[in-house]
Amino acid sequence: MKIGRLSFSLLLFSLILPIQTQAVERKYMGVRECDGCHGGGAVQYPNLVNSWQIWAQDDKHSRAYSDLVEKPLSKHIAGWMGLPLDQPASWSKCTVCHMVDVPKDLWGEKFDPTTEGVGCEACHGPAEDYLIP
């Protein structure tokens, strides 16, 4: 009897295992979409921390892309690597760390990785589902 239950359990498990939900790709909305709840100006929800304001004022991540394109050392390194100096957004070996580097079809209306550096969505993922209508 135990073998029958075990066989049935394995059969049932093998039928359920292949059922997977299809992943939906969410859009990246940009750091300006986070500030309404997380401290940029008028805070709608006072129990949430001012993490956006701290990021914008004090966190080096907010300047990661601008540092990449404005600092002389960055341009020197790019030239040494043979990268086109007039197209810093195409420096894939650099942008993988200096901005939120995602495919353009996942950009929300206000998302521009070249102006935000390494923003909230670099760690928290696309904000499309986080936003409260």
Mean pLDDT for 45-73 is: 84
**pTM confidence score:** 0.68
Mean pLDDT for 36-60 is: 74
- Domain ranges for the chain: 26-129
What pLDDT band is residue 108 in, cutting at 50, 70 and 90? Answer: very high
Predicted pLDDT of residue 116: 86
**How far is residue 30's CA from residue 7's CA, in Å, rounded to a whole number?**
51
User: For residue range 65-99, what is the model confidence (pLDDT) as tens digits?
Assistant: 999 889 999 989 999 999 998 888 888 889 888 99
